[in-house]
Amino acid sequence: MFPYIELGLIKLPTYLLMFLIGYALMVCWARKIAVKYEYPKEDIFYLSLYGGIGILIGAKVMYFISKLPIIIPKFDLYIKYWKINPIGAFNFSFGGLVFYGGLIGAVVGAYMYCRQYKMPFTPLLDIFAPLIPFVHGMGRIGCFLGGCCYGKEYHGFGSVQFPENDLVPVLDDVPRIPVQLIEASLNFVIAFVLYRLMKCGKMKLGQLMGIYLVYYTIIRFLMEMMRGDSIRGNVGGISTSQIISILLIPIGIVLVHGKWLAKRQENS
């Protein structure tokens, strides 16, 4: 476990460092892929800035939404908490990040850039299809190093015993499933597969993103069953991320089918 890198007076979270490395590599990779789709690669950098802002806003907003099942029943106490300890209330409300919120925010940010500068949006679905799981995999390695998003208690082969730490006091109580590394590996696998499918040049527009959405929503639904952190919101025993996975699967299926985007291309 290696939650921070100390640079003098600055403590840089390892998760943030891993994400930034992955994001920078993604931008460089996207510029090369953009040529294949006749998308101006000089726009990729600026579009990525819009997407990055969307990631931050979306991930924070979705984290707040995940807290609503806790906030709503005790709304009066929640308001008092803001008055007594606004910093603590802010950290409780927006102190984490939710991947699905970041994904949705990134799509919205990219779409806004395309609308503002009259750029085609649909090629981006394929350009970034293999890159999103790559960045996500890097982020999950950061989660493992930081100790967040940890797994349930597990004493079998491959279990991980985290050292004692102040960041997550309960983390070292028992051996756990290394769910962060499992999810990172699965993300890297689909990133490689999607890139190979892209190289073969036989996929319809949008199908790569569709494959990613179907694959990851199923994987994420199952991964949630292995998670041991209890701070995430849930409704009726189903986590926020599982609910979003169920909602996104139909979108992925539509994209894999390919006809919807094909019709849009014909009408444009």
Give the helix ranges, DSSP H, for 37-130: 42-71, 75-84, 86-94, 99-116, 122-127
Helix 259-267 and helix 240-257, axial crossing angle in degrees, nearest 10: 60
Give the helix ranges, DSSP H, for 157-239: 179-200, 207-224
Residue 59 has pLDDT above 60, yes or no: yes
Residue that the structure tokens 């599982």 belong to? 242
**How much is the pLDDT for 266?**
46
Length of the chain: 268
**Max CA pair span of the chain:** 60
Residue 127 sits at the vertex; the CA angle it makes with 126 and 129, to the nearest 5 degrees, is: 60
Average pLDDT over residues 177-182: 96
DSSP state of 227: B
Average pLDDT over residues 122-130: 91
**How much is the pLDDT for 239?**
87
Helices H, strands E: what count in the chain?
11, 4
Residue 230: which of 164, 128, 153, 124 has the closest Cα? 153
Residue 191 has pLDDT above 80, yes or no: yes
Confidence category of residue 268, pLDDT binned at 50, 70, 90: very low
